[in-house]
Chain A
Amino acid sequence: MITIVEGAERERHSTLIDEMFRMRAAVFADRLEWDVIVTDGREIDRFDAEDPLYLLSLDNQTGALQGAVRLLPTTGPNMLRDVFPVLVPGGAPASPLIWESSRFAVNPAAFNACERAEANHVVNCTTIELLCGIVEVCQRAGIEHVVSVFDARMARIFRTIGCTFEVIGTPARIGRTMTYAGIFDMSEAMRERLGETGRLLTPVLATVEPRRIPHPRHA
């Protein structure tokens, strides 16, 4: 299941959020060796101070943190506009109907806890569940598109699981890897594709609301 935590209300979920920051250090600093700042074993950057929205994937049985992702509005400070302008020479997309996703991470504890085949399965499931969560939360808030910066490794994963995207701007080699900016469509079709790949046909967010929007103003 996916739990939504508003950055502004993170103290209500302080244990989980702290665990997420430690997981991010393990993923981005230790595993991927990205150029991130780790303090006290936690990877926290300036965008965490911008009241983002966090989606946390929690194990249905144990409640353990399996993965996390962060969402920011493109109208305010965001990574594509402020950290990776090199990827979008003409300027980053901006609109209240476009959000940015960043710090997509699957808990490496999954690799250690089980056999290789099973670990791959858990990683795939968590990835798809997080992506389904992004689509669902965007649909709830009326958001139509998500932009994101990702590397060649993630691009391959997105392609494998049917998470279609279109590259925007100009990909660039940053550090050791090719880095892309992409647009993702937060449509029902996207949710259905992901749902079929990951066998997640029912909503992954804890609560659901109706999706259809009638036009009652003239009624």
Chain B
Amino acid sequence: MRRRDRHDDDPELFELLANLEEIAETTRIPALLCRLLEIYGLKSVAYLGSGLSAQPGQGPYLAVTYSDDWVDHYKAQRFVDVDPAVQIGMRRMLPIDWDTFDRRDKNVRRLFGEAAEFGLGRRGISLPVHGQHGDRALVSITSDASDRDWRHLRLYYMRDFQMLALHMHQAILRLEGQRMETASLSPRERECLLWVAEGKTAWETAIILGLSEHTVRCYLESARHKLGAANNTHAVNKAGKASLLSQIP
């Protein structure tokens, strides 16, 4: 069976990615994070960014849905010094399931115990983002799913939040005044998008171009990312507006 393109049938993910791209004011971030909670049935979402600005001495950037009570408590207890997600998470490549943290350490145990008391949820995942210029971010989500549901949910969250985390990071970079580089596509990426714009599927495009279907999907994935698009249709529109499709390769 052929894989379907991941975003084409997913209006909610599309909505979220589109909103992230259009967000123009920092004050709109909390509402967007709340929408994430709603759509995914999560207890909390937190974004932590570092190296966002070229100026030295800038502290990390934080956007969270945590209650003020928890944020105050977290600061007062200096949990940042023991929080394993923050300490190591941003430098990792693999997403971290909070279940894998070593809870033998009594400070770590206390942190997660008290987090649960403050309504953060018993389960969590943190997803690291590696930015283009050494900038990094960590997006953490928490849930109160049962053990059985969590086994499935975590993989599904990991898949969508790889995308969401990066788009969140790019939105915040933009809001912080970083100039975003204008997208440019490789000849193959453009060619694949052109055929998609003609209504061809990835499979048909593969036949036409003499490539394998997975390679076409990889080019389309890369093109979507470079254009900041949520799906192929969106990518075609954006490339069209930026006149990236006009040059026939």
A-facing mask of B77-109, CB < 8 A → 1, else 0?
000000000001001111100000000000000
Instruction: List the A side residues contacting B40 at CB < 8 Å.
Output: 217
Q: Which of A77, A168, A210 has the most CB of B within 10 A?
A: A168
- Does A29 interact with chain B (Cβ within 8 Å)? no
- Does A7 interact with chain B (Cβ within 8 Å)? yes
User: Are A96 and B152 CB-contacts (below 8 A) given A8-B92, A141-B95, A141-B158?
Assistant: no
Instruction: List the A side residues contacting B39 at CB < 8 Å.
Output: 217
Which of A74, A89, A145, A147 sits near B214, CB closer than 8 Å? Answer: A145
Would you give the shortest CB distance from B6 to chain A, in whole angstroms?
A: 9
Would you give the shortest CB distance from A73 to chain B, in whole angstroms?
A: 4
- Does A38 interact with chain B (Cβ within 8 Å)? no
Asked whether B153 lies within 8 Å of A216 as measured between CB atoms, the reply is yes
- Does B134 interact with chain A (Cβ within 8 Å)? yes
Instruction: List the B side residues contacting A160 at CB < 8 Å.
Output: none
Query: Whole-angstrom distance between the alpha carbons of A199 and B236 in the complex?
Result: 43
Asked whether A95 lies within 8 Å of B165 as measured between CB atoms, the reply is no
Would you give the shortest CB distance from A194 to chain B, in whole angstroms?
A: 15
Asked whether A145 lies within 8 Å of B218 as measured between CB atoms, the reply is yes
Asked whether A75 lies within 8 Å of B131 as measured between CB atoms, the reply is yes
- Does A192 interact with chain B (Cβ within 8 Å)? no
Asked whether A185 lies within 8 Å of B156 as measured between CB atoms, the reply is no
- Does B123 interact with chain A (Cβ within 8 Å)? no
Asked whether B155 lies within 8 Å of A96 as measured between CB atoms, the reply is no
Closest B residue to A92 by CB, please name it.
B186
The count of residues in chain B whose C-beta lies closer than 8 Å to any C-beta of chain A is 46
Query: Whole-angstrom distance between the alpha carbons of A165 and B116 in the complex?
Result: 46
| B interface SS class | helix
User: Are A94 and B226 CB-contacts (below 8 A) given A6-B92, A6-B94, A216-B149?
Assistant: yes
- Does B162 interact with chain A (Cβ within 8 Å)? yes
Asked whether A142 lies within 8 Å of B155 as measured between CB atoms, the reply is yes
Asked whether B94 lies within 8 Å of A137 as measured between CB atoms, the reply is yes
Near B by CB (< 8 A), chain A positions 150-186 give 164, 166, 168-169, 183, 185
Near B by CB (< 8 A), chain A positions 57-100 give 71-77, 88-98
Instruction: List the A side residues contacting B190 at CB < 8 Å.
Output: 90
Would you give the shortest CB distance from A33 to chain B, in whole angstroms?
A: 30
Query: Whole-angstrom distance between the alpha carbons of A206 and B152 in the complex?
Result: 20
Asked whether A183 lies within 8 Å of B214 as measured between CB atoms, the reply is yes
- Does A35 interact with chain B (Cβ within 8 Å)? no
Asked whether A213 lies within 8 Å of B159 as measured between CB atoms, the reply is yes
Which of B134, B159, B226 sits near A76, CB closer than 8 Å? Answer: B134
Instruction: List the B side residues contacting A97 at CB < 8 Å.
Output: 162-163, 221, 225
Instruction: List the B side residues contacting A95 at CB < 8 Å.
Output: 221-222, 224-225
User: Are A209 and B155 CB-contacts (below 8 A) given A75-B166, A90-B186?
Assistant: yes
Closest A residue to B158 by CB, please name it.
A142
User: Are A7 and B93 CB-contacts (below 8 A) given A77-B134, A90-B185?
Assistant: yes
Query: Whole-angstrom distance between the alpha carbons of A34 and B212 in the complex?
Result: 31
Instruction: List the B side residues contacting A147 at CB < 8 Å.
Output: 218
- Does B33 interact with chain A (Cβ within 8 Å)? no
The 7 lowest CB-CB distance pairs between A and B, nearest first, are A90-B186, A76-B130, A8-B91, A95-B225, A185-B214, A93-B222, A53-B93
